[in-house]
Amino acid sequence: MKHLKESFLVLGLGRFGSSVLKELARLGYDVVGADKNEKVLQDEELQDAASYLAEGDVTSTAFLEELNVDNFDAVVVSIGDDFESAILTVLALKDLGCETVYAKANDQKRGRGLKGAGATDVFFPEEETGRRVAYHIANPGILQYIRLSPYCSGLEMTVPDDFIGKSLAELDFRNRYKALVVMVTSQSEETPVVSPAPDYIFQPGDTIFTVGAEKDLERLRRKYY
């Protein structure tokens, strides 16, 4: 298999792996997927999204060698709840020359193990989903909460009544809340307004996606919700 520019390999095509593959493909990248379950590979959406789908044991070093894993810009390890196999797969990928390896983990303890095995970064989809659901249940005005890094988070929220009829400049949003409004979704606009201008005036039904330090977003949330 020849090297593809900006190409990615996803090992394990369960719900998480399939979602990652489809989204990378939607963003315009070449993505190869691999799974040992033939039935999974017959999914039409996956077939349409992937550049290529390979059937085989993704924990097998021989199979990984056949895939020429070191030709990809990054590899995603998403092989379910088999922690030992995930560790061995990450180790094998590093031995085969993969510089960037992402892995899925069910909890922080397993995440540390995968990091120790050489994973570049580890994702906790169940933990992140639980956090978002909890935020929404506790605060119906909060539509989405995303932890982008240990230092930065994103918050999607319905604009409070106090914002309606006022502009970003009038609210002095950036200085007052120590956060940036990166997108506004308005009922009066067909598409979201990305990087809204300071003179953008908030309307009823608007939602904003704002980015900032977790402590500052929490202060914003507590003030209005």
- Domain borders along the chain are 7-123, 128-224
Give the pLDDT band of residue 2 (cuts 50, 70, 90): very low
The answer to whether the CB of 2 falls within 8 A of the CB of 67 is no
For 127, the 3-state DSSP assignment is helix
Is the model's pLDDT at 149 over the cut of 50? Answer: yes
User: Is it the case that residue 80 has pLDDT exceeding 70?
Assistant: no
Mean pLDDT of the chain: 91
Q: Which residue has the tokens 């290529």?
A: 52
Task: Report residue 4's pLDDT band, with 50, 70 and 90 as the boundaries.
Answer: very low
Give the model confidence (pLDDT) of 8-40 as tens digits: 999 999 999 999 999 999 889 999 999 999 999
Q: Which tens digits make up the pLDDT trace of 63-79?
A: 999 999 999 999 999 98
The model carries a pTM of 0.68
Strand order in the sheet with 74-77: 52-55, 30-35, 7-11, 74-77, 101-104, 121-123
Rounded CA separation 76/99 (Å): 12
**What's the CATH code, domain 7-123?**
3.40.50.720
Start-end of H helices in the chain? 15-26, 38-41, 44-49, 61-66, 83-95, 108-117, 125-138, 168-171, 173-177, 214-224
Going 36 to 40 to 44 to 46, the CA torsion angle's sign is negative
What's CA 6's distance to the chain center, in Å?
A: 18
Residue type, 20: V
DSSP 2-52: ---TTEEEEE--SHHHHHHHHHHHHTT-EEEEEES-HHHHT-HHHHHH-SE
Q: Which CATH number fits domain 128-224: 3.40.50.970, 3.40.50.2300, 3.40.50.720, 3.30.70.1450?
A: 3.30.70.1450
8-state DSSP, 70? G
Rg of the chain in Å (alpha carbons): 21
pLDDT at 3 over 60: no
Which token pair is 15?
């719900």
